[in-house]
Structure 1
Amino acid sequence: MPSPEHNAIEEVRSLVGEYEQFLSGKAEGTMDAYLRTVRHLIGWVAQRPGNEGQFQPPQLTQTTVELYLAHLEQEGFSINHRARVKSTISNFAQFLIEEEGLLRRNPTRGIELPILPPHAPRELSGEQRSILRSLVEQEGDPRGAALFALGYWAGCRVSEISWLQMVHTHVGPQEGWLHVGYKGSKWRDIHLLDQACKPLYAYLQATGDTERTYVFLSQRSERLTEEAIHYWFRKLKARATKVQQEVIQDITFHDLRQDFGERARKAGWSLEEVANYLGYVTG
């Protein structure tokens, strides 16, 4: 006879499966992100004191969600990431209310996150650039060097790097180009600068599996997720000395892309050239 713990696990698995069906109208990437967030949330709630390692929908209270978002902040996740998580939890709660009847109130209602003021594109200082580049070099990891190069030397979005496919990657030791883009961004062909081409080519040579779908590999899935790239960048910064960390602590991977645009402008690119290269132009 199955134990109560086994039954609880099966109930959660079934609930997540039904939620996946509820999301079936959304884009594949959005579905994946929602499901990862919900699974992480469920696991975190189950480990809260008094929950005995099990998740029950009524545990999803406003206080619980506030504590979870505070936990993410302590882990170093940005306000934008937490806003996306809150939106996902709200969607999951509506599913529990409308489809399952397991929740009476949306726990995200009344939770306010700080609003980020509009800001100009970020330009890194010479010291910040030097520290980040030296950290990548010290790490000595081909994958990390390629990730950094595509952000810093090619201005690619995290999603574009995560979903970059082998068939869209054309690089040699001296030159190369990529066909990049992802759902919400403009697809485009970009010629890689030498500083971006060499690390990417070295990584491809080190991995060797040319038949795989995605360029950046992960031990847990067929591609390196957006969350994993942000996690890698946080770990990279954590390798810095205390003095260096004070200089680079608030830099995000997205800032590498913005800094590339600023450096390109100073190198003589027109606004239109920068916009085309970074995929800002519509049409």
Structure 2
Amino acid sequence: MNVVPYQRPKGILEEYEKSLAGKSEKTVDAYMRALRQFTTWIADRPGNGGLFRPEQLTKTAIEMYLALLQSEGYSVSHLARVKSAVGSFARWLMEEKEILRRNPIRGVEIPAQPLLAPRQLSPDQRYILRSLVERDGNPRSEALFALGYWAGCRVSDVSWLQIKNTNIGPKVGWLSVGYKGNKMRDIDLLNQARSPLYKYIQHGGRDPDSPYVFTSQRADRLTEAGIHHWFRTLKSMATKDEWELILDITFHDLRHDFAHRAREAGWTLEEIAYYLGHVTKKGMPAIQTTIRYTQASREQIKEKLKQIKG
């Protein structure tokens, strides 16, 4: 968003922040960041002269701001958090300051997210996640992330991966994966996936007595819930600015993004379907499932329009 530097409306946000003293530090920080961005956007609207005044907090402003966030790729859950923060601020302006006569949040609907919308990460999101893994420097983290990001593996593929099904060496590597639905498949690995996996198996401190590749201190394998917990912990290392871009990304989104990048690299839908394990009971590629993963976005079509020549 292109916005002017925020100008404080006579300390009104600072007053409101003090009223949140009973909430957790994380909640207060999330609310205030959302409100500062929202009020800055209002201040930048025509006729406002770079200033925010509480009476400018209207239903129209909220609806247009949420629509803007959606167009920029923010998730429905992020929009819901913004709506909650603005609604709380508006109630305070009504009940404590008696500036507003009614809460403008009433009747505001969050724009619906398209059904089966694919999750394609932005270059910034990819940069942040890959940087977090590198900053973490943990061999297990590097291997877990690599199998999602560079091999498009499911959480179950990773959690149930057994040593006997890994064929990893210093220069070549492939896996037999497919715990879900008991549909095993052999996949070759990019060096970006093979190398960290080989490093982890050789020097990552896994339990050598476990038949599973990824182990934990509590069990002989790292569970699906354990992988999700690891991914949340990895994201918690982000700075505040980084967190805004990656807070709602899941491990499964890495798989979706891999499918997009494979499609951009020229893979056919059949090839992507096989690699991701989208196959029917008869072993044929389940193209309809893969199409959901590689669904084109409006922004992609918009860029392609520029390539049409007369």
Measured against the shorter chain, the TM-score band is: 0.5 to 0.7
Match of 1:248 in 2: 246
Q: 1:125 to 1:169 in 2, by over 3 A?
A: same
Query: Which aligned pairs between 1:155-170 and structure 2 lie closer than 5 A?
Result: 155-170=152-167
C-alpha distance in structure 1 between counterparts of 2:275 and 2:141, whole Å: 23
C-alpha distance in structure 1 between counterparts of 2:117 and 2:274, whole Å: 19
Once the two structures are TM-superposed, the CA of residue 212 in structure 1 deviates from its matched residue by 2.6
Match of 2:144 in 1: 147
Amino acid at match of 2:188: H
Match of 1:225 in 2: 223
Q: Tell me the matched-pair count.
A: 170
Q: Does 1:126 align with 2:131?
A: no
- Structure ranking higher in helix proportion: 1
Q: Does 1:199 align with 2:196?
A: yes
Q: Tell me which moved more, 155-164 or 202-211.
A: 202-211
Query: Which aligned pairs between 1:64-83 and structure 2 lie closer than 5 A?
Result: none
Which of 159, 176, 192 aligns to 2:173? It is 176
Once the two structures are TM-superposed, the CA of residue 211 in structure 1 deviates from its matched residue by 4.8
C-alpha distance in structure 2 between counterparts of 1:265 and 1:183, whole Å: 23
Once the two structures are TM-superposed, the CA of residue 187 in structure 1 deviates from its matched residue by 1.3
For residues 241-274 of structure 1, give each alpha carbon's deviation from its aligned partner in whole angstroms, at most 9, with x where no partner exists: 0000000111000000010000000001100000
C-alpha distance in structure 1 between counterparts of 2:217 and 2:240, whole Å: 31
Identity %: 64
Mark the runs of 5 or more structure 1 residues left unpaired by the alignment. 1-78, 80-114
Query: Which aligned pairs between 1:88-103 and structure 2 lie closer than 5 A?
Result: none
Equivalent residue of 2:145, what SS?
Answer: helix
Mark the runs of 5 or more structure 2 residues left unpaired by the alignment. 1-76, 78-111, 283-310
- Contact preservation (8 Å) 2:207, 2:220: no
Amino acid at match of 1:181: G
For residues 38-67 of structure 1, give each alpha carbon's deviation from its aligned partner in whole angstroms, at most 9, with x where no partner exists: xxxxxxxxxxxxxxxxxxxxxxxxxxxxxx
C-alpha distance in structure 2 between counterparts of 1:130 and 1:246, whole Å: 14
Which of 256, 263, 269 aligns to 1:265? It is 263
Match of 1:95 in 2: none
Amino acid at match of 2:147: L
Equivalent residue of 1:184, what SS?
Answer: helix
- Contact preservation (8 Å) 2:210, 2:221: no
C-alpha distance in structure 2 between counterparts of 1:267 and 1:277, whole Å: 14
C-alpha distance in structure 1 between counterparts of 2:114 and 2:123, whole Å: 25
Amino acid at match of 1:219: Q
Match of 2:272 in 1: 274
Larger radius of gyration: 2
* Bigger relative CO (Cα 8 Å, ≥ 6 apart): 1
- Contact preservation (8 Å) 1:178, 1:189: yes
C-alpha distance in structure 1 between counterparts of 2:140 and 2:161, whole Å: 14
Amino acid at match of 2:261: R
Once the two structures are TM-superposed, the CA of residue 173 in structure 1 deviates from its matched residue by 1.7
C-alpha distance in structure 2 between counterparts of 1:135 and 1:208, whole Å: 21
Amino acid at match of 1:199: P
TM-score calculated relative to the size of structure 2: 0.53
Equivalent residue of 2:255, what SS?
Answer: helix
C-alpha distance in structure 2 between counterparts of 1:194 and 1:184, whole Å: 28
Amino acid at match of 2:123: G
For residues 121-170 of structure 1, give each alpha carbon's deviation from its aligned partner in whole angstroms, at most 9, with x where no partner exists: 21100000000000000001000100000000000000110000000001
Q: 1:118 to 1:168 in 2, by over 3 A?
A: same
- Contact preservation (8 Å) 1:185, 1:279: no
C-alpha distance in structure 2 between counterparts of 1:183 and 1:272, whole Å: 19
Amino acid at match of 1:231: H
Equivalent residue of 1:246, what SS?
Answer: helix
C-alpha distance in structure 2 between counterparts of 1:255 and 1:208, whole Å: 26
Amino acid at match of 2:124: E
- Contact preservation (8 Å) 1:156, 1:278: yes
